[in-house]
Amino acid sequence: MFAGLVGESESRTRQMIQLAEALAPCILWIDEIDKAFSGLDGKGDSGTTNRVFGTFITWLAEKKSPVFVVATANNIQSLPAEMLRKGRFDEIFFVGLPYQEERKAIFEVHLLKLRPQSIKNYDIDRLAYETPDFSGAEIEQTLIEAMHIGFSQNRDFTTDDILEAASQIVPLARTAKEQIQFLQDWAAAGKARLASRQSSLNRRLSS
């Protein structure tokens, strides 16, 4: 959406809005919105980002067309407060790291795509138990690495191959522990709805 010529970013923003409304009813998905709008005051672009931001949040508040807007953010605390207030985004959900049962479901989803005929050969309960702190993307990567192990030995990959691959991956939950803990505390303070049913249950039990 952002461009180098003066006025082009603002024009592209208006075109995006017009296109979304022309396609309505539709879902407008904005991935990693924090990359575009974090630290607005410190951006030296002659106010372009601020103008794009102003156009976008005004449309969010005033739009009448059935465009359902969904945005993701890894660094939500860097977003301007006016973007997060009610009337623009109706709800904020915190998607934390998957719990054991959720990891099991993620393994099942990927294995059903990769090995639908032989999924019973994999110990999914063990895989879920042995991968604490793994995200969905990291679980998917363990399967890719396990496939490489099996292929290199001219055989299909096994549960042990997946566990071997997992042992070689350091999950983001450990390398960025402080940042993730901050987000978890931020969500637990009631600033977002917890997307995980298990997270909601834990919060109710601790309150």
CB 111 within 8 A of CB 124: yes
Residue 94 has pLDDT above 70, yes or no: yes
Q: How confident is the model at residue 205 (pLDDT cuts 50, 70, 90)?
A: very low
Q: What percent of the chain has pLDDT over 70?
A: 87
pTM (2 d.p.): 0.71
Do 57 and 79 form a contact (C-beta atoms < 8 A)? no
Note the helical H segments in 87-167. Answer: 100-114, 124-129, 136-152, 159-167
In tens, the pLDDT along 118-128 reads: 999 999 999 99
